Amino acid sequence: MSAHFLRFGPIVLLALSAIAGCGSGHSSSHPDKETPVGRTFVSTEVDGAPIPGGGPLTLTFTADRVTADAGCNKHSGMVTLDDHKLRVSGLASTLMACPGDREGADEWLSGLLNADPGWHLDDARLTLTGNDGRTVVTMLDKKVAQPDRPLRGSPWTVTGLITPDAQIRSRTIDEAQPTLTIAEDGAVSGKAGCNRLTGKADMSDNTVTFHVATTKMMCSPEVMEVERSVLRALDGKTTATVDAEVLTLRNDNGNGLTLRAS
């Protein structure tokens, strides 16, 4: 990571730690109507100990892996679904510090997954039941619970920066709150961090090419560093991906942004 990012204040690098070991035994490797494989689910209700910070719990199932997030770090490991038991092994996580109530979310998540909860799938609804019978987590298919927000017309707020080497979050980003809105006619408006942002965007499928300019105010060095990073990400051609309320922009120059719909 280049040195100028060190002035952002507390920085979090979302570096996934190495996966330890591999699961053994047969896994449900082929998605079908009876398994959650190939789908993402989001919690809508928790009976028993609540998720610290409110969650929600998100689970994404691939052929033999599960990725989990309860509002703090992302966890990933091998998974088997035999006998309607969710058995996870080799669980690893990102290394993000989570302040306030969310601090206990990882412990809650680990406790649930390491206890081999039972699972039951009914169309779009997935239910996880702890071995003690006192914890029941009701989840919905993410496409049902959180439909993708439209790229045009939605107000987006920057939550993180993407560089060729890392994904970066910081207190300065949260305080500066860079914003971006692409109108139906392609007009671009928002705030780059310190200065007002205007321009236009040419859109084709998931490709967005930005042509933007800003006002010329000066703010603190930390905020100006954030602004320069935002403008690098919006300099020309980007690939846009919307997942529920999260927009990811990746520029051909290696920089990018993560944004959340307001």
106-142 residue pLDDT tens: 999 999 999 999 999 999 999 999 887 789 999 999 9
Do residue 71 and residue 45 come from a single domain?
yes
pLDDT at 6 > cutoff 50: no
Name the phi and psi angles at 62, rounded to 5.
-115, -165
Do residue 104 and residue 138 come from a single domain?
yes
Number of domains forming the structure of the chain = 2
- Residue found by looking up tokens 């520029």 in the block: 251
Do residue 27 and residue 56 come from a single domain?
yes
pLDDT tens-digit series, residues 197-243: 999 999 999 999 999 999 999 999 999 999 999 999 999 999 999 98
The Cα 226–Cα 178 span in angstroms is: 9
Domain hosting residue 141, numbered range: 18-145
Do residue 78 and residue 106 come from a single domain?
yes
The Cα 28–Cα 61 span in angstroms is: 10
As a whole number of Å, the end-to-end CA separation of the chain is 29
Contact 116, 85 (CB under 8 A): yes
SS3 233: helix
Do residue 180 and residue 218 come from a single domain?
yes
User: For position 31, what pLDDT does the model report?
Assistant: 40
- Domain termination site, one of 145, 176, 196: 145
pLDDT at 18 > cutoff 50: no
Cα–Cα nearest to 140, from 118, 125, 159, 162: 125
